[in-house]
Chain A
Amino acid sequence: NAGVTQTPKFQVLKTGQSMTLQCAQDMNHEYMSWYRQDPGMGLRLIHYSVGAGITDQGEVPNGYNVSRSTTEDFPLRLLSAAPSQTSVYFCATSPRTGTPDTQYFGPGTRLTVL
Chain B
Amino acid sequence: TQLLEQSPQFLSIQEGENLTVYCNSSSVFSSLQWYRQEPGEGPVLLVTVVTGGEVKKLKRLTFQFGDARKDSSLHITAAQPGDTGLYLCAGQFTGTASKLTFGTGTRLQVTL
Closest to B44 in A: A105
Q: Contact check, A41 vs B104: say whether CB atoms are below 8 A apart.
A: yes
B27 CB within 8 Å of chain A: no
Complex alpha-carbon distance, A21 and B63, angstroms: 35
Q: Contact check, B92 vs A100: say whether CB atoms are below 8 A apart.
A: yes
Question: Could you tell me how many residues of chain A have their Cβ less than 8 Å away from some Cβ of chain B?
Answer: 27
Q: Contact check, A100 vs B50: say whether CB atoms are below 8 A apart.
A: yes
Complex alpha-carbon distance, A48 and B88, angstroms: 20
Task: Select A107's contact among B4, B9, B40, B101, beta carbons within 8 Å.
Answer: B40
Complex alpha-carbon distance, A31 and B99, angstroms: 9
The 5 closest A-B pairs by CB, nearest first: A105-B42, A100-B31, A42-B102, A31-B98, A43-B102
16 contacts between A and B (CB under 8 A): A35-B102, A40-B105, A41-B2, A42-B88, A48-B99, A50-B98, A59-B101, A94-B98, A100-B48, A102-B45, A103-B43, A103-B98, A105-B41, A105-B42, A107-B42, A108-B41
Q: A: which residues have CB within 8 A of B? A: 4, 31, 33, 35, 40-45, 48, 50, 58-59, 90, 92, 94, 96, 98, 100-103, 105-108
